[in-house]
A and B are shown apart, each in its own frame.
Chain A
Amino acid sequence: MEPLLRLLEKFGRDTLYHLTQVGRMGIFLSHCLAQAVRPPYKIYPVISQIHFIGARSFFVIVFTGTFTGMVLALQGYYTLRQFGSESLLGSAVALSLVRELGPVVAALMVIGRAGSAICAEIGIMRNSEQIDALECMAIDPYKYLIVPKILAGIIAMPLLTFLFDMVGILGGYLVGVVLLKVSSGIYFQSMYDSVVWQDVHMGVIKSLVFGLLIVWISAAKGYYLHLDRSGGFGAVGVSRQTTSAVVLASVTVLVWDYLITSIMM
């Protein structure tokens, strides 16, 4: 009987802990949104964060986008050839990129590069009392620290996704047209015929949502570092929270990818 009670107790404790975490994340986002619409509006911190999240992710997006497009073309070509449909290669590459892989893989790259950095930065600021210092100086930490990052995430993510799609299509062109000798005109014509505005729309919506999710989860994990039940302080605490932020953000992006797709299809 006693082991069962202990198990129940643990289950109850874990449930309460996770519910508290969810509530805390919700409060965090509501504070950020409230501060985002409250003046004064400062442009420079947002531009600086767009540079950090967006411009500094340029090369990683170009590399991953190119190779994703190349492998899509390679796989797509040999699959389509079995049905004599190589002419649909451009369509297969573009639709996969614009609807799914562009937003998702770009988001996963941004999580690894910028999301982890955001979590670690805010976590270290929490550890070293810099966030307390902001509060004591009557400076709202949400407004000063988090809002520029969230706005930058929402702005940068669609641009990075667009870049990913473009270089992915070019990567597909390299493999499909240059290496496997599919006609260049057919590659682009099939793309033109099959990709419709709704596909682009879906990609844009996804990237906007992913931009918000990545920064929200990463920043909140760092911000609440001190409230983590596994003992948040110190370098180990920062590393643990950063890992947790990357995992949670990645899983959340994939879940939301499914939800948005199922709503918009």
Chain B
Amino acid sequence: MGEEKPVIELLGVEKSFGSQKVLRGIDLQVAAGTTTVIVGASGQGKSVILKHMLGLVRPDRGQVMVLGHDLARVSGRELKRIRTSFGVLFQNSALFDSLTVFENVALPLRERTRATQAEVRDKVMEKLTFMDLQGAEKKYPAQISGGMQKRVGLARALVMNPKVVFFDEPTTGLDVKKSNEIYRLFHKTQAQFHYTAVIVSHDVPKIFKLADQVALLADGVIHGCMTPVEFQLSPKPLIKAFVEETMGPIYSSEGEEATIE
């Protein structure tokens, strides 16, 4: 992780909804320019962690430090300013049904900047071309496929050149081919725009190929935050059980079950 200050740092984050305690003390660090993948079974609170990082949910206890600010304590105006550095790809893309593909991608530029029509057009078309979406700009979200909707969502997330991009289950509902396409675009865009990425996913093991570090969320706590290789070979019972459930046992070249301490 180096000595650089982390872009995102969660310290002892706890959150309950009614009587249900979802997060029981989350500690997590995300370094600049890296990709952190949060995995875990459904209903464990992965998206809740993401919502804390986005400032959509405030923790009951603990700190959510993003770009040097504690999101639980900043004012509404300050939070809005911090969010100008965010890009988000939502699970269902969250495109605006009444806007065309072009208008969806142009929305942050039109609402947050004083860019001229020509500048907006240039920037939007650049991102749409990057996502292989030329020709779809006049279509409405309901008129394009799920894979295309994800690409439009990604184009919209990146149009303001954010420092941090959050992905909530980016391949949910997509077939293998379209999932691979999203992963290819993720590689391509991160190489080009150098953003820090946080991905919440259950698409194991594919998602490991993208990750610099993998964190397992179970029972409201992060169990280990390590490189994908370390994660797959970890002897920790919870991680080992998760890896075996999702990938099957990992064997060494000698045919024995492999672990690293």
Residues of A within 8 A of B (CB): 125, 128-130, 132-133, 135-140, 144
Contact = CB atoms under 8 A, between A and B. Distances in A.
Interface stretch (B90-98, B117-125, B195-203, B251-259): B90-98
Interface string B62-103: 000000000000000000110110101011101111000000
A133 B112 contact: no
Contacts of A138: 80-81, 83-84, 86, 108, 112
B90 A129 contact: yes
Interface of B: 51, 54-56, 80-81, 83-84, 86, 88, 90-92, 94-97, 107-108, 111-112, 156, 160, 166
B111 A144 contact: yes
Nearest to A125: B96
B107 A139 contact: yes
Lowest 7 A-B CB distances belong to which pairs?
A133-B94, A138-B83, A129-B94, A136-B88, A139-B111, A138-B84, A137-B108
6 contacts: A128-B92, A129-B94, A130-B97, A133-B90, A135-B55, A138-B81
A130 B94 contact: yes
A30 B108 CA distance: 25
B178 to A, nearest CB: 20
B200 to A, nearest CB: 13
Nearest to A145: B96
Contacts of B108: 137-139
Nearest to B108: A137
B84 A128 contact: no
A160 to B, nearest CB: 23
Contacts, number: 52
A136 B111 contact: no
Contacts of A130: 94-97
B7 to A, nearest CB: 16
A136 B167 CA distance: 12
Nearest to A138: B83
A140 B77 CA distance: 10
Contacts of A139: 107-108, 111-112
A136 B56 contact: yes
A132 B90 CA distance: 9
B195 to A, nearest CB: 14
Contact of B83 (A125, A128, A135, A144): A135
A132 B94 contact: yes
B88 A133 contact: yes
Contacts of A144: 111
Contacts of B56: 132, 135-136
Given A129-B94, A135-B54, 13 more contacts: A132-B54, A133-B90, A133-B94, A133-B96, A135-B56, A136-B83, A136-B88, A137-B112, A137-B156, A137-B160, A138-B80, A138-B84, A139-B111
A240 B60 CA distance: 30
A16 to B, nearest CB: 14
Given A135-B56, A136-B54, A129 B112 contact: no
B107 A137 contact: yes
A140 B51 CA distance: 17
A177 to B, nearest CB: 46
B149 to A, nearest CB: 11
Given A129-B90, A132-B56, A132-B90, A137 B83 contact: yes
B92 A136 contact: no
B117 to A, nearest CB: 13
A135 B205 CA distance: 32
A135 B112 CA distance: 12
A220 B168 CA distance: 27
A125 B94 CA distance: 8
A140 B79 CA distance: 11
B112 A128 contact: no
Contacts of A133: 88, 90, 94, 96
Contacts of A132: 51, 54, 56, 90, 94
A140 B108 CA distance: 11
A96 B91 CA distance: 54
B111 A129 contact: no
A134 to B, nearest CB: 8
